[in-house]
Chains A and B, each alone.
Chain A
Amino acid sequence: MLKKDLGLLTLIIVVGAVVAIINPRFLSPINIANTANLVGLFGIFAIGQGFVIITGGIDLSVGSIIALLGVVFVDLIANHGVPWPFAVLVVLALGMVMGTVHGLLITKLKLQPFVVTLCGLLIYRGIARFYTKDATAGFPFGVSFPDLEWITTGRTDIVAVLTGDTMHSIPIPHAFFIMLVIAVIMWIVLHRSVFGRYLYAVGKNEEAARYSGIRTSRVIVAAYVISATLAALSAVFFAMYTRSILPSGHGNFYELYAIAAAVLGGFSLRGGEGSIVGVVLGAILLQVLQNLVNLLGIPSSLNFAVMGSVILIGVIADQQFLLYRERNARKRGRQRAAGPAAAAAE
């Protein structure tokens, strides 16, 4: 697991170094801060997707959730005068409900995750467009939410704060901080908690997990709740980041970014494999690649093609590495077994 993450980190550094050499603007404070902001925005819901993928499922509804709940959030605070902390809670609660519905459809009605969340993708997108009558949702002129804006789109130069403004470094976007906090919490949940262990067990062999006394349905529902709730949180951040939401296009394909980040991060779509560090590194690599397309003057139409190629190469390399390791493990196992017996025979 750790080796995989190190490999990915190395890849990010190598790609970053190459881009930096060709175009030094890559390392400019403003570019780093902007990239970090995007890593934060995309990282939050990619972590959620990771939980679902570990169970062997998939959540295709993420992009549409971001659009629908973004529209709802903007409408609540801009047009209905709902206090924003309350609106955030409403949006998170809606996300939880959506996740619960997905999870229950999958575990109780035994529908396939792909089908359930594909329907979610279509339904939420449709509702979002209907909700605004296909118009752009935004804030009326002069309406502003300084606290909310500070939290979601603000940037803080930590060095400046700590040294009382005598020294300066790069101002870090808050979205990135929040993503890191979520990553730490979710790292504990996935890698240290009983629930996390059950996620791995369910993803590897649901039947055997059930026979081990694990309530597999609960574990699976929880994974979808986590994914949809983190998508809801992202919805707030994206709404404040773009400030106006075109419901037909906002968040399109975002679920695929999340899946790509997870796959790059070493998750297996068959379930049972993956780590938080991996998915965060995956999200970073994706944004670095986007950045690379811009900075190296590659036509932006090739954006997806670059991303796809890197993922493909990464997955192939990973697969080959795995095969190699398995062969070695078998060899070692045989040697271990033969060792004592050979010694006894002598």
Chain B
Amino acid sequence: MTTSATAAVEASAPAEPFLDLSGLRKTYPGVVALADFGMTVRPGEVIGLVGENGAGKSTLMKILGGVIEPDQGSIVIDGEAHPSLTVAQSMAAGIAFVHQELNLFDNLSVAANVYIGREPRKYGFLQLVDNDRLEKLVQPLLDQLGATFSPATPVSRLSLAEQQIVEIAKALSLDSRLVILDEPTSSLPIAETEKLLDVIAGLKAHDISVIFISHRLHEVVQASDRVLVLRDGNLVGELGDDDINHDAMVRLMVGRDLKVDYVPPARTSGEVVLSIKAVRTSTYPNREISLDLRAGEILGLAGLVGAGRTELARVLFGIDRPAGGRLELNGEEAHFATASDAVAAGVFLVPEDRKGAGLLLDFAIAQNISLPNLSAYARRRWVSREAEIAQAERSRTHLDIRAPDVRQRTSALSGGNQQKVVLAKWLAMEPKAIILDEPTRGIDIGAKSEIYRLMRGLADSGVAVLMISSDMEEVIGVSDRVAVMHEGHIQGTLDRDQCSEENILQLAVGRSIQERGRGC
């Protein structure tokens, strides 16, 4: 109530904020996603929003989009206070989203997409689409955004940045007053990014506000009037126009004192097991990745979302074909045309999408464990259930999988135990190298440390472990060495004594490290 009263008083002020958030709080069991967050957005203002993965940015966006309700706090739009928004209210208020994943119909033209569901019609009852009028409506929007394609172009012919412009045109056609760009540049090449930054400047000139969420800090510097930094659900800093610079943002994003929780034993690295030589992925066909995975070592692979880490993992495991380069396994050239080849060679992947790609949730625990190596459990092509269950029982003890029965469906397990089943399936075979993509995402603390212990155990037994992780603390705590990816290539590799959060972030945003901030 007090908030709405203040807002009403302020309503007479000249630069009345379009949006005023205060005291927003959202918790999920065990996690504070957003704590006492507040911000204002004035017309024509471009606000950069930065923070590490999991800092609370997406929670905030979901609240603004009306997808989730905050536990506390108020949302004041044009002086009117709401405890929470519905999707319809958010749209009616003129808040438009342009997501990283686009929702365009690529079988329709640009103009048809912009006005989908709201087509101008002609010939009354026949309800025909008035294409001429439609294109006349869309052309000025495209002009305003500096687009070079015509409204009649099929969306399938557009590049990603151009498709984003179509989404923005759609937002403009809805008379949006606030356009929220969620990681719009993460999948764009540099040249296209420039185009998008021009578009943002154009929106600003039309008094439309923009919230620009990006991991690419130099773009945030270029685009924003003001930058808000989120960390662990808290607003930890706000930078005005003159203070926006790269280092200040990184400092705020990292913020906390470095903890030295884990401290794994110092390793002497062994032989090179898997050697990645100038491999290129189809996402970044012009960037080469070279990296050696050594026996007995946990190599952390850090980087921002979209840096190409998962794509690399898919190539290493034979899911995708590399666009170039080659792999060597124990010094011999290896070709993984399919994942089956990689498995046969002893290179395993624990994928990011545990429920979709890591497991068959409807299968029993024992069946999941035996699946990649079923012939080992078979006598004359008949799968021996006893052998399956015996192995599953061994795995259950070894990995401490908490389940009453290994014949139980995997879907009934907690996230941590499911991940242990994924690990169990590979540990039951003989891994030479194992790649773990975000192995502890969505897993509770207790299970996390068990998984770290298992990883360390694997390394100690001479396996090369590659851990992809966006969790800084995890990367620093677990890894013997950290490679940092940026836009499809290895920006730098850090030894234990160099791997501070600050150094990793510097590399992750595409800079080189200066000799400071010795960590770990």
Q: Of B103, B191, B195, which contacts A205 at CB under 8 A? A: B103
The residue of chain B having its C-beta at the shortest distance from the C-beta of A341 within the complex is: B191
With A200-B107, A336-B148, A338-B191 as contacts: A195 and B127 at CB distance below 8 Å: yes
Cβ–Cβ < 8 Å partners of B106 in chain A: 204
Q: A213, B118: Cβ atoms under 8 Å?
A: yes
The 10 closest A-B pairs by CB, nearest first: A333-B159, A341-B191, A213-B117, A212-B117, A337-B192, A208-B103, A212-B116, A272-B107, A204-B105, A337-B191
User: A190-219 CB contact bits vs B (8 Å, 1 = yes)?
Assistant: 001111110011011100110111100000
Q: A201, B191: Cβ atoms under 8 Å?
A: no
Q: Of A201, A329, A334, A338, which contacts B108 at CB under 8 A? A: A201
Interface residues, chain B, with chain A CB atoms under 8 Å away? 103-108, 112, 116-119, 121, 126-129, 148, 156-162, 189-192, 194-195
Q: B161, A204: Cβ atoms under 8 Å?
A: no
Q: B127, A200: Cβ atoms under 8 Å?
A: no
Asked if A188 is at the interface (CB within 8 A of a chain B CB), the reply is yes
Q: A194, B127: Cβ atoms under 8 Å?
A: yes
With A214-B116, A272-B105, A337-B195 as contacts: A329 and B126 at CB distance below 8 Å: no
- CA A177 to CA B151, docked complex, whole Å: 36
Give chain A nearest CB distance to B14 CB in angstroms.
36
Give chain B nearest CB distance to A136 CB in angstroms.
43
Q: Of B128, B190, B191, B192, which contacts A192 at CB under 8 A? A: B128
User: Could you jot down 26 A-B contacts, CB within 8 Å?
Assistant: A188-B126, A192-B128, A192-B129, A193-B128, A194-B121, A194-B129, A197-B108, A197-B112, A204-B105, A205-B103, A208-B103, A208-B104, A209-B117, A214-B116, A329-B156, A330-B159, A332-B157, A333-B158, A334-B159, A337-B159, A337-B162, A337-B189, A337-B191, A340-B195, A341-B190, A341-B191
The residue of chain B having its C-beta at the shortest distance from the C-beta of A203 within the complex is: B107
- CA A344 to CA B190, docked complex, whole Å: 13
Q: A273, B107: Cβ atoms under 8 Å?
A: yes
The residue of chain B having its C-beta at the shortest distance from the C-beta of A202 within the complex is: B105
Q: B158, A205: Cβ atoms under 8 Å?
A: no
The residue of chain B having its C-beta at the shortest distance from the C-beta of A344 within the complex is: B194
Give chain A nearest CB distance to B117 CB in angstroms.
4
Q: Which of A195, A200, A333 has the most CB of B within 10 A?
A: A333
Q: A208, B117: Cβ atoms under 8 Å?
A: no
- CA A192 to CA B112, docked complex, whole Å: 12
Q: B105, A208: Cβ atoms under 8 Å?
A: yes
Cβ–Cβ < 8 Å partners of B189 in chain A: 334, 337-338
Q: B129, A201: Cβ atoms under 8 Å?
A: no
Asked if A342 is at the interface (CB within 8 A of a chain B CB), the reply is yes
Give chain B nearest CB distance to A21 CB in angstroms.
39
Cβ–Cβ < 8 Å partners of B191 in chain A: 337-338, 340-342
- CA A35 to CA B162, docked complex, whole Å: 48
With A204-B105, A205-B105, A333-B159 as contacts: A194 and B192 at CB distance below 8 Å: no
- CA A201 to CA B119, docked complex, whole Å: 13
- CA A117 to CA B390, docked complex, whole Å: 46
Total A residues in contact with B, Cβ cutoff 8 Å: 33
The residue of chain B having its C-beta at the shortest distance from the C-beta of A211 within the complex is: B103
In the complex, the number of residue pairs spanning A and B with C-beta atoms less than 8 Å apart equals 82
14 more CB-based (< 8 A) A-B contacts, given A209-B105, A340-B148: A192-B128, A194-B119, A197-B112, A204-B105, A205-B105, A208-B105, A209-B116, A213-B118, A329-B157, A333-B157, A333-B162, A338-B189, A341-B191, A344-B194
Cβ–Cβ < 8 Å partners of A203 in chain B: 107
Q: A214, B117: Cβ atoms under 8 Å?
A: yes
Q: B159, A336: Cβ atoms under 8 Å?
A: yes
Cβ–Cβ < 8 Å partners of A195 in chain B: 127
Q: Which of B104, B105, B127, B194 has the most CB of A within 10 A?
A: B105
- CA A181 to CA B189, docked complex, whole Å: 50
Cβ–Cβ < 8 Å partners of A329 in chain B: 156-157
The residue of chain A having its C-beta at the shortest distance from the C-beta of B190 within the complex is: A341
With A208-B103, A213-B117 as contacts: A188 and B128 at CB distance below 8 Å: yes
Cβ–Cβ < 8 Å partners of B156 in chain A: 326, 329
- CA A282 to CA B49, docked complex, whole Å: 54
Cβ–Cβ < 8 Å partners of A212 in chain B: 116-117
Chain A residues 319-346 with CB under 8 Å of chain B are 326, 329-330, 332-334, 336-338, 340-342, 344
Q: B128, A341: Cβ atoms under 8 Å?
A: no
Q: B157, A201: Cβ atoms under 8 Å?
A: no
Give chain B nearest CB distance to A193 CB in angstroms.
5
The residue of chain A having its C-beta at the shortest distance from the C-beta of B194 within the complex is: A341
- CA A204 to CA B157, docked complex, whole Å: 16
- CA A207 to CA B127, docked complex, whole Å: 23
The residue of chain A having its C-beta at the shortest distance from the C-beta of B155 within the complex is: A204
Cβ–Cβ < 8 Å partners of A332 in chain B: 157
Q: Of A201, A272, A273, A337, which contacts B161 at CB under 8 A? A: A337
The residue of chain A having its C-beta at the shortest distance from the C-beta of B146 within the complex is: A340
Give chain B nearest CB distance to A109 CB in angstroms.
23
Cβ–Cβ < 8 Å partners of B157 in chain A: 329, 332-333
User: A212-248 CB contact bits vs B (8 Å, 1 = yes)?
Assistant: 1110000000000000000000000000000000000
- CA A200 to CA B129, docked complex, whole Å: 13
Cβ–Cβ < 8 Å partners of B159 in chain A: 330, 333-334, 336-337
Q: Of B107, B128, B162, which contacts A194 at CB under 8 A? A: B128
- CA A14 to CA B160, docked complex, whole Å: 39
Q: A193, B161: Cβ atoms under 8 Å?
A: no
- CA A194 to CA B127, docked complex, whole Å: 6
User: A96-120 CB contact bits vs B (8 Å, 1 = yes)?
Assistant: 0000000000000000000000000
Give chain A nearest CB distance to B133 CB in angstroms.
13
Q: B105, A201: Cβ atoms under 8 Å?
A: yes
- CA A263 to CA B87, docked complex, whole Å: 39
Cβ–Cβ < 8 Å partners of B195 in chain A: 337, 340-341
User: A33-46 CB contact bits vs B (8 Å, 1 = yes)?
Assistant: 00000000000000
Q: B119, A197: Cβ atoms under 8 Å?
A: yes
- CA A333 to CA B162, docked complex, whole Å: 9
Chain A residues 105-154 with CB under 8 Å of chain B are none
- CA A200 to CA B191, docked complex, whole Å: 32
The residue of chain A having its C-beta at the shortest distance from the C-beta of B126 within the complex is: A193
The residue of chain B having its C-beta at the shortest distance from the C-beta of A274 within the complex is: B107
- CA A200 to CA B109, docked complex, whole Å: 11
Cβ–Cβ < 8 Å partners of A340 in chain B: 148, 191, 195
Cβ–Cβ < 8 Å partners of A214 in chain B: 116-117
Q: B129, A193: Cβ atoms under 8 Å?
A: yes
The residue of chain B having its C-beta at the shortest distance from the C-beta of A214 within the complex is: B117
Cβ–Cβ < 8 Å partners of B128 in chain A: 188, 192-194
Chain A residues 288-342 with CB under 8 Å of chain B are 326, 329-330, 332-334, 336-338, 340-342
Cβ–Cβ < 8 Å partners of B127 in chain A: 193-195
- CA A203 to CA B107, docked complex, whole Å: 10
- CA A200 to CA B113, docked complex, whole Å: 11
Cβ–Cβ < 8 Å partners of B148 in chain A: 336, 340
